[in-house]
Amino acid sequence: MSGAKDIRVEPIDAQSANKIVRALHYSGKVDPRSQLHLGVYLDGKCGGAMQLGPPIDKRKAMTLVPGTPWNAMLDLHRLAFADWLPRNSESRAIAYMLRWVKRTYPWMEWVQSYADATQCGDGTIYRAAGFLLVSIRPNASMYRMPDGNVVCKIVFEPGFSPNSGPKSLKARYGKTGGGSSHRFLKDIGAERLPGFQLRYVAFLDPAARARLAYPVLDYGEIARRGAGMYRGHRVRSAESGTAGSTSKGRCESDPHAPTSEGS
C-alpha cells in the first residue's frame, strides 16, 4: 500500500493547479498572484497542489528578514490536498517543494506562509514541516460581508491595485472614492471575523536565518494565546491534527490573499 514516502511533487500548469485549489481549498478560490504551481502525485494520480508567488505587500513582508534581495523570497499562497492522500503527505510535499525551489531558484532565501486560524487551521502542516512560527495576531483583516462572502479588507483600501480580480469588489459592494476600508465596512454592516492569523517562515539559506528580525515563537504559544484551530473549529492546540482544513480537503493558505474570483 502506498504511503507518504511514495508521493512525488512536480510542476504543473496554472490552469490545472487552479482547478485543484478550487475543488479542495476551503475558500474555493485561487490567488491571482501565484506564479509557481506544483502538483502532488501518488500512484500517478494528482491529489494536491501548492501555489507560490509574491506577497501582497512585498515591502512590508521583507522587513521580516532585512537585507533580502527583492527576488529572494516567496509567499506560499495556496496549499490544498485531497483527503485520500496518506497521513503526513503535507509535510513531505512541503519538504519536496522547498528543495525544488532552492534547486530551481538558487538565489531564493526564504519562503513564508500564513495559517488562517480564523476560518481554517493554526498551521500544524507548517510545524510538521519545520517552519518557524514568527507571529500570532488576532484577525484584523477578514470580514464577512452582508451577502455572506468573506473578504480581506485590504481590497477596499485607497490605492490598492492588485493584478486582477479584487478590483471588481469595490464595484460589487459600492465602494467609491478614497475613504478608509474600516469606515466603509462598518457602514455596510460587514462583520469582522473572530480568530487569529499565524505567520510561518522556512529558510532556504542559513545566512538569511541569521538576519531574522522577529523572535521565533514556541509552538506552545498558540495554545497559550487561545489561537488553536482545526478544521475550522476553535480547539486547544494539543487537539489539532496534521492539517487545518475543512471537509473539502486538507489545506492552508494566506488569509490576506486576494482572489481571482473577486473575494
User: Which tens digit of pLDDT belongs to each residue from 106-147?
Assistant: 999 999 999 999 988 999 999 999 999 999 999 988 889 899
pTM of the model: 0.84
Sign, CA dihedral 223-227-228-233, equals positive
Residue 246's pLDDT is: 35
Question: Residue 163 has what pLDDT?
Answer: 44
| CATH 3.40.630.30 residue window(s) in the chain | 4-139+196-253
Instruction: Please give the backbone phi and psi of residue 139, each rounded to the nearest 5 degrees, phi first.
Output: -60, 130
Question: Which DSSP category does 217 fall into?
Answer: B
pLDDT confidence of residue 173: 86
To the nearest whole number, what is the mean pLDDT of the chain? Answer: 86
* N-term to C-term CA, the chain: 40
- Looking at residue 56, its pLDDT comes to 85
Determine which helix (DSSP H) or strand (DSSP E) holds 128, and give its type and residue range. Answer: helix 124-128
Q: Give the per-residue pLDDT at 167.
A: 57
**Torsion of Cα atoms, 141 then 144 then 150 then 151, to 10°:** -40
Say what the pLDDT of residue 229 is. Answer: 93
CB 26 within 8 A of CB 6: no
CA quadruple 184, 190, 191, 192: dihedral, nearest 10: -40
What class is the 4-139+196-253 domain?
A: alpha beta
Which residues in the chain come in under a pLDDT of 50?
163-165, 237-247, 260-263
For residue 239, give the C-alpha cell.
Answer: 487537539
* Predicted pLDDT at 254: 64
* Residues, the chain: 263
